[in-house]
Structure 1
Amino acid sequence: MNLIKKISIGTAQFGMNYGERNKKALSFTKIRKILTYARSIGIQNIDTAFNYGRAEEKLGIVGVKNWKISTKFSKIPSNENPVYWIEKHLKKSLKRLKIKKINTLFIHDFNSINKNEKKAEDIMKFLKYLKKIKLIKNIGISIYDPKILNRIIDLKSIDVLQAPANIFDRRIFQNKNVEILKDNNISLEIRSIFLQGLILEKLNNIPKKLNDYLIYFKKIEKLSNKMNTTKISIALSVLNNQRFDKLIIGFNDENELKEIVENIPLKTKNLKPFFIKKKNFLINPYLWNTK
């Protein structure tokens, strides 16, 4: 499939300030322009979440009935019945989005249910019921670390896995993970290809909390100059010759999407991985606010 058609529009910045680069949520005008251009080039998928601020509400107002919408539920409060909680929030999502069904409903915090076998069983049973009554088409799980892949396979009901991959983090493409997913009929969606946009940033815009890793951002800049190519092309090179089904990318305006399109088809070969000391902090944005 054409890489452009594999793109799914990430929407965290539609509803809130998200990541290190986005200080406020996007306006309705920008959202409309992004979606209008995306649709004109064959993109059909949108990725959102219950807890992306007003993202779902804004999408509903703009109108997304003809899109394939995936959403996520995050950590379920320990004092809540998980089935009732999911049902309540799914109904709210459908109402906000003004649609009748979800393409993929993702479990966003797998670790929170992985620790409780009974809770995991109840949730999976309910998600299968939602599939049966066609409120959702697929059951998905969003992960940070492929080490838990075998546990996910054991659930036997997962249709889609969403995982990070970028020039600093290629774990999902290692250890035959992709083959394991294929053998179990699980689709793979890639997110964080630009590491919340920082891989494309100017060096003086890299946050101080990542100063220990500045040398690796400098390497990308040097490669870009040496190869006379864009940072986008270098970042996307990780996907060369890899099997995956969707690529989640967020945009601040339609021009950012146009820049991506200009770098497709991929012209930069898959570059050798960087050796990065103590890279866990770098590749997990949820840890950045702990420093």
Structure 2
Amino acid sequence: MFLEKVIIGTVQFGLNYGIANTLGKINYTRGSEIIRLAEKHNISTLDTAIAYGDSEILLGQIGIDNWKVISKLPPLETNLESKVLEGKIYSLIQSSLRNLNIKKLYGILLHSPEDLLSKNGSQIYKTLIDLKNNKLVEKIGISIYDPNCLDLYLEHFDLDIVQAPFNILDRRIKEQGYLDKLKNKNIEFHCRSIFLQGLLLMNRSELLAKFNKWEYVWDKMENFASNNGISNLDICTAFIKQNTDVDRVIIGVDSKIHLDEIIASCNKDINTVPEIEIENDRLELLNPSNWNNL
């Protein structure tokens, strides 16, 4: 069942995040409603990060004993002496476990995987392996933005999880053959940004003028949705469902109502999605960190 692949993204549990987020940071009540509804639909994994404000603390207060939790280490001080760096990583993990009120993490990812390529990269990797051996984490991995960097890591490190953007517009990781590479190495692929921070779900009237340069994209999605009697949400979820090499999909939600809509969409049987070619300026659109410069 597809919903078993779903991971609840929790950046909004700790930060006011997302271009389409009108409700702001999630509070205890809304967070509890989301977690309890997800449980009813056999969704049992959470994605969080130390950098997500107080999301780990809020999740610990809500109670997630029976959940698998993936967290991420922030950028590390790679110039530290090796043993000090090791101690810092252990301290961060133990703090996360206390905040989350759980005994171990399903996964720990590096938010800045380039730390592995620093002079202390081998020490960082060794510490991650030690965390596995000591049963504080089950799996280790990296969170990336650009799939072009993947070969650097796959060649030198044994990873369990790779998290990267993948959506109806951003198909780079598949187009460049990395989904096959990950599958061949038995590495879980967790896709994120399937709604592109909610941009792909917004009505044309809600879009800021700076996104008008991609009018052909919004036209194609709007026409396809209208002609097929579906929504942009349905297009986005159907695209992921049709890509069976996706092991898990991270979906950020801001309310119980929002999660209900996503669950209903995931349960629909939709066989086609539009082919949308992005022009050479694609990275301006696909990487939200570029949006402030549009």
Q: TM-score range by the shorter chain?
A: over 0.9
Amino acid aligned to 1:236:
T
1:93-104 matches, cutoff 5 A: 93-104=96-107
Q: Secondary structure at the match of 1:56?
A: helix
Q: Which runs of 5+ in 2 are unaligned?
A: none
1:4-153 matches, cutoff 5 A: 4-22=3-21, 24-77=24-77, 80=80, 81-114=84-117, 116=118, 118-153=119-154
Partner of 1:256: 258
* 8 Å Cα contact 1:104/1:136 also seen in 2: yes
Whole-angstrom distance in 1 between the partners of 2:94 and 2:56: 12
* 8 Å Cα contact 1:236/1:266 also seen in 2: no
Partner of 2:187: 186
Q: Secondary structure at the match of 2:70?
A: strand
TM-score by length of 1: 0.93
Whole-angstrom distance in 1 between the partners of 2:77 and 2:219: 41
Deviation at residue 142 of structure 1 after TM alignment: 0.7
Q: Which runs of 5+ in 1 are unaligned?
A: none
* 8 Å Cα contact 2:116/2:122 also seen in 1: no
Whole-angstrom distance in 2 between the partners of 1:218 and 1:238: 18
Whole-angstrom distance in 2 between the partners of 1:125 and 1:180: 23
* 8 Å Cα contact 2:72/2:108 also seen in 1: yes
Pick which of 143-152 and 53-62 moved more.
143-152
Pick which of 209-218 and 4-13 moved more.
209-218
- From the superposition, tell whether residues 173 and 34 of structure 1 become closer, same or farther in structure 2 (CA, over 3 Å): same
1:190-229 matches, cutoff 5 A: 190-229=191-230
Partner of 1:3: 2
Deviation at residue 65 of structure 1 after TM alignment: 1.0
Report how many aligned residue pairs link the two structures. Answer: 288
Alignment RMSD (CA, Å): 1.7
After TM superposition, what 4+ stretches of structure 1 lie above 6 angstroms from structure 2?
A: none
1:137-187 deviation digits (Å, cap 9, x = unpaired): 000111111112211212332000111011110111223311211111101
TM-score by length of 2: 0.92
* 8 Å Cα contact 1:57/1:96 also seen in 2: yes
* 8 Å Cα contact 2:188/2:247 also seen in 1: yes
